[in-house]
Chain A
Amino acid sequence: MNPISKNRRSPKQYSVLPGFGLTMGYTLLYLGLIVLIPLAALFLKSSQLGWDDFLKAVGNPRVVASYKLTFGASFIAATVNAIFGFIVAWTLVRYQFPGKRLLDAMVDLPFALPTAVSGIALTAIYSENGWIGQYLEPLGIHAAFSPLGITIALTFIGLPFVVRTLQPAIEDLQRENEEAAASLGASRLQAMLRVILPAVMPALLTGFALSFARALGEYGSVVFISGNMPMRTEITSLLIISKLEQYDVAGATAIAVVMLLASFALLLAVNLLQWWSGQRYRGVA
């Protein structure tokens, strides 16, 4: 531990720099007013509800159906992203090909494109007479207004998380390990599965968890393509909004608390993963 950090009474005692009181005070005030107090309001409101009403609100069949859909579609989308995101990250780091820089820049599009825009664009593409939908329809695949459409939208918004988490991890890979594997007689596939994959696993899982977490709370890109049929294609975020519109503030709050706890659990998992990968690197060094 830094000896300085033990001395908590006044940071000014050892620093010649001014402004700690002002900036720290402002940071805490702003954080409190914008984030902490409103969040506390959410938990307080739900605690007023009483245990029975809370369980009734979050255990309603329509709500449970929305959890299943949201978690299921988010999980599939995050899995698709983990697989293709790994391939994309690998090609962007290891290979040279024309258009690579453009492709690399394009990965961030889902971060930059407002969710409402991606929502209506995806709906237009996958609806019956859309660019892609017209070829899926004869095959009996209804992409728009179905769980498949929701999964497509969630894949779109989650992709950059996996690619951007994996890229630095693949760049940091020690080529020597791959050379050692090859000189010990491992085929390229064996080296890939036994040397490279375990080394990037923490990053891959982190990207998966981030993409999953983002998908759980997503609203804008999904509402247009989902069709919003209760029990079938209604995601939890939308259910919160429709409860609010029916002035069922207590019900909306209860569902929001459940979703918030799920995303906090994922955040914790991400932090544990990062701690794990930190431990692993320290073990190697």
Chain B
Amino acid sequence: MSSGVTNTTAHTALTARGLPAKRLRLATEEPDWVRWSLIAISIGFLTLFLLVPLLAVFAEALRKGLGPYFASFADPTALSAIRLTLLTAGIAVPANLVFGLAAAWAIAKFEFFGKSILITLIDLPFAISPVISGLIYVLLFGMRGWLGPWLSGHNVQIIFAVPGLVLATVFVTFPFVARELIPLMQEQGTEEEQAAAVLGASGWQILWRVTLPNVKWALLYGVILCNARAMGEFGAVSVVSGHIRGKTNTIPLHVEILYNEYNFVAAFAVASLLALLAIVTLAAKNVVESRIRRELQQTLEPSTAEA
């Protein structure tokens, strides 16, 4: 932006002196042809790898028109998949939200030994393959697992049932809220909370009236990403679900079953729901990001005015 302005001012200054304007460019800029070919490569690459697959979902879903498209959602197994996805995300997201707040409070507001190890451990689920994330619960709760025989003796089923789906979803979305909150709350420090405490506020009052208003956008950001992953997770839930139609099928697993039955229109129709969710997620993420940036500028501006 700023370089563009300098370029034009230099440009007018030189043309005024009668120098050839055509060959002019700043030494820290690429020639026009390089610039435009790089832009073309970027747009081409992103269109080919990102836009085309996204459009393909809707094109395939609407291949036979709107009637078959909407008919795919009337199927009771599709409805139960939607219900189950809402249920698992409805449990996993609040659970990780509470954990994220607790972890960020402990890590950002206090000093203790081993803090960086704790942060690494919280991020750990991101480094683990979805399939392995599901496998660890099978090893723990499956029929051949450590607790499986005992659990089935007490008539509790976790693997191939809803609790297993919830656990696997909680695992893969574990760090989302915490990793947004921890750096922000560390940066904000403890001064405002200390002031509130000195003025006699209780712990809950400090949380509700001081800390949460300060981190609300980052919190929302974490929740948006956490929810998108919770509703769209495939690998981990695939291992623990057992694919029982109408019982343990989430939307992504339902998509897989329809696709493997060559019922492509229905598969893509149900997939288009998830694609819409992804588009909404990206839009919401951008709105929240610009809010965070604006608030950062607002907090920065008074201090620069003083300086």
A117–B46 touching, CB < 8 Å: no
Whether B106 contacts A24 by the Cβ 8 Å rule is: yes
**Restricting to B50-83, which residues have a CB under 8 Å from any CB of A?**
50-54, 56-57, 60
Distance from B127 Cβ to chain A, minimum over Cβ atoms (Å)? 5
Minimum CB–CB distance from B233 to chain A (whole Å) comes to: 7
A17 touches B190 (CB 8 A): yes
**Quick check: is B206 within 8 A (CB to CB) of the other chain?**
yes
B interface majority secondary structure = helix
Beta-carbon contact of A240 and B132 below 8 Å: yes
Tally B residues with Cβ within 8 Å of A: 101
Residue pair B129, A237 in contact (C-beta under 8 Å): yes
Does B268 touch A at the CB level, under 8 Å?
yes
* Minimum Cβ distance to chain B for residue A80 (Å): 9
B27–A120 contact, CB under 8 A?
no
Contacting residues, chain A, for B21 (C-beta < 8 A): none
Q: Which residues of B contact A259 (CB under 8 A)?
A: 129, 132
Q: A124 to B56, Cβ gap below 8 A?
A: yes
Choose one: B51, B53, B113, B253; the contact of A118 (CB below 8 Å).
B53
- With a CB–CB cut-off of 8 A, which chain B residues contact A49? none
> Which residues of chain A come closer than 8 Å to B132, judged between CB atoms?
42, 217, 240, 256, 259-260
- Name the residue among B107, B232, B259, B264 with the largest chain A CB count within 10 angstroms: B232
- How far is it, in angstroms, between the C-alpha of A240 and the C-alpha of B252 when the chains are bound? 20
Question: In the complex, which residues of chain B have a beta carbon less than 8 angstroms from the beta carbon of A175?
Answer: 28
B140 within 8 A of A: yes
Most buried by A among B112, B113, B235: B235
Q: Does A8 belong to the interface (CB within 8 Å)?
A: yes
Residues of A within 8 A of B34 (CB): 188
Jot down 28 A-B pairs with beta carbons below 8 A, ordered by A.
A20-B109, A20-B110, A23-B101, A26-B102, A27-B102, A30-B99, A35-B174, A42-B135, A84-B41, A88-B45, A91-B39, A103-B46, A106-B50, A112-B282, A112-B285, A114-B232, A116-B232, A116-B256, A117-B57, A121-B56, A156-B53, A182-B28, A188-B29, A219-B238, A240-B135, A241-B238, A244-B239, A264-B127
Residues of A with Cβ closer than 8 Å to B? Answer: 2, 4-5, 8, 11, 15-20, 22-24, 26-27, 30-31, 34-39, 41-42, 45, 84, 87-88, 90-92, 95-97, 99, 103, 105-118, 120-122, 124-125, 130-132, 152, 155-156, 159, 175, 178-179, 182-183, 188, 191, 213, 216-220, 224, 237, 240-241, 244, 247, 249, 252-253, 256, 259-260, 263-264, 266-267
| The 8 nearest A-B residue pairs measured at CB | A217-B129, A114-B232, A182-B27, A220-B234, A219-B235, A38-B136, A18-B203, A112-B278
Q: Spell out B's residues near A (CB within 8 Å).
A: 1, 4, 27-31, 34-35, 38-39, 41-43, 45-46, 48-54, 56-57, 60, 99, 101-103, 105-107, 109-113, 118, 121-122, 124-125, 127-132, 135-140, 142, 144-146, 167, 170-171, 174, 190, 193-194, 197-198, 202-203, 206-207, 225, 228, 231-235, 238-239, 251-253, 255-256, 259, 264, 267-268, 271, 274-275, 277-279, 281-283, 285-286
